């Protein structure tokens, strides 16, 4: 399989601290992959290892099929742990300097500045940029090489809501255009909106990987009824005790939501007053915390 990002057993230890442990990561061609995890989980260390900034203690990394070495970042663009540029140069001149390093033409500079909406302020000194403008310039630098693989570490940091929406749209556009995007974040909503698949890292280990919908699991049927105990008893008879949970003063039934009318009729039939009956997606945030907790507990 064509895997623009592929790691096997990737591990990084700093003395007695294991920052990343035995990480197997596979990002498929053309997908937008979300790399989720709380602060300190090992996301940035992993990305730095991918890009050769940090040397792995163990394991292998291949980007666009290439092992570490000269030329390994051809076709790869990245923004790691916030933008960093020369404060005495303008945004445009910063990109021109980087273009010299990467060997791309000056025409790309104007193009990427336009892409991130920074053309009007490109002549200003970087030192005077707002946080959001700096972030945009960082993304512009990542796009300089017209990459086939784009690695973005918390790309919406410092952006206002409109800027965040623009960034998400840009990522989706790049993904739709065939660029593989690996985007790390601790913002679930952000990942959910732009990513095809996600990997969840906790305490340096990949604790889950899959499509957001798969991680979230099937939707449940939320029931608010009186008396609740009687409703719970009848529901257990109907769908089985293992499919009924008491949550937040109501019931959650693990059944197809389109069986709502049938459940309602059965509950009403035994004298239960049904106040609310609705489909409920499993909260991604809860899924995330469950995974993190599980990962942390496994490590402990």
- The pair of structure tokens assigned to 105 is 């033409």
Does the protein bind another protein through residue 17 (CB under 8 A)? Answer: no
Select from 52, 131, 186, 257 the one that contacts another protein (CB under 8 A): 52
Residue among 68, 101, 72, 84 at smallest CA distance from 153:
84
Number of residues that bind another protein (CB under 8 A): 37
Q: Which residues have C-beta within 8 Å of that of residue 97, sequence separation ≥ 6?
A: 86, 89
Restricted to residues 99-128, the positions that interact with another protein (CB under 8 A) are 100-103
Rounded-to-integer distance, Cα 147 and Cα 77, Å: 5
CB closer to another protein out of 84 and 241: 84
CB closer to another protein out of 1 and 70: 70
Does the protein bind another protein through residue 74 (CB under 8 A)? Answer: yes
CB closer to another protein out of 80 and 253: 80
The number of residues in the chain equals 300
Contact 20, 32 (CB under 8 A): no
Does the protein bind another protein through residue 222 (CB under 8 A)? Answer: no
Does the protein bind another protein through residue 270 (CB under 8 A)? Answer: no
As measured in angstroms, the least distance from the Cβ of 63 to another protein is 11
Does the protein bind another protein through residue 85 (CB under 8 A)? Answer: yes
Does the protein bind another protein through residue 73 (CB under 8 A)? Answer: yes
Select from 9, 40, 65, 87 the one that contacts another protein (CB under 8 A): 87
Rounded-to-integer distance, Cα 184 and Cα 170, Å: 15
The stretch among 2-10, 137-145, 174-182, 234-242 that binds another protein (CB under 8 A) is 137-145
Residue 26: burial class (beta carbons within 10 Å; 0-12, 13-18, 19+): middle
The stretch among 69-77, 107-115, 164-172, 241-249 that binds another protein (CB under 8 A) is 69-77
Q: Which residues have C-beta within 8 Å of that of residue 13, sequence separation ≥ 6?
A: 19, 57
Alpha helices, DSSP H, located in the chain: 43-50, 91-102, 107-115, 131-143, 161-176, 188-194, 212-216, 228-239, 260-269, 284-299
The stretch among 139-147, 205-213, 237-245, 270-278 that binds another protein (CB under 8 A) is 139-147
CB closer to another protein out of 33 and 288: 33
Q: Which residues have C-beta within 8 Å of that of residue 89, sequence separation ≥ 6?
A: 97, 125, 126
- Binding stretches for another protein (CB under 8 A): 48, 51-55, 70-71, 73-74, 76-89, 93, 96-98, 100-103, 138, 141-142, 144-145
């Amino acid at each position: 399989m064509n895997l623009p990002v592929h790691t096997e057993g990737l591990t990084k230890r700093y003395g007695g601290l294991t920052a990343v442990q035995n990480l197997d990561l596979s990002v498929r061609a053309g997908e937008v992959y979300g790399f989720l995890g709380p602060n300190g989980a090992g996301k940035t260390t992993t990305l730095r290892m991918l890009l050769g900034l940090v040397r792995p203690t163990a394991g292998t990394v291949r980007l666009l099929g290439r092992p570490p070495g000269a030329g390994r970042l051809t076709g790869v663009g990245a923004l790691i742990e916030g933008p960093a540029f020369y404060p005495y140069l303008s945004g445009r001149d910063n990109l021109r300097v980087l273009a010299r390093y990467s060997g791309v033409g000056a025409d790309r500079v104007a193009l990427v500045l336009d892409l991130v909406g920074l053309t009007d302020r490109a002549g200003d000194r970087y030192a005077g940029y707002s946080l959001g403008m700096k972030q945009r310039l960082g993304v512009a630098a990542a796009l300089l090489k017209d990459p086939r693989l784009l690695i973005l570490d918390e790309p919406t940091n410092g952006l206002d809501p409109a800027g965040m929406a623009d960034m998400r749209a840009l990522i989706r556009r790049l993904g739709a255009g065939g660029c593989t995007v690996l985007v790390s974040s601790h913002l679930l909503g952000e990942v959910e909106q732009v990513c095809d698949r996600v990997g969840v890292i906790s305490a340096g280990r990949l604790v889950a990987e899959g499509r957001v919908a798969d991680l979230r699991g099937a939707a449940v049927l939320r029931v608010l009824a009186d008396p609740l105990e009687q409703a719970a008893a009848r529901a257990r008879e109907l769908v089985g005790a293992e499919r009924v949970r008491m949550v937040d003063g109501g019931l959650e039934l693990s059944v197809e939501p389109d069986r709502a009318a049938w459940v309602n009729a059965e509950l009403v039939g035994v004298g239960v007053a049904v106040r609310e009956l609705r489909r409920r997606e499993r909260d991604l945030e809860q899924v995330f915390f469950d995974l993190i907790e599980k990962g942390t507990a496994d490590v402990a």
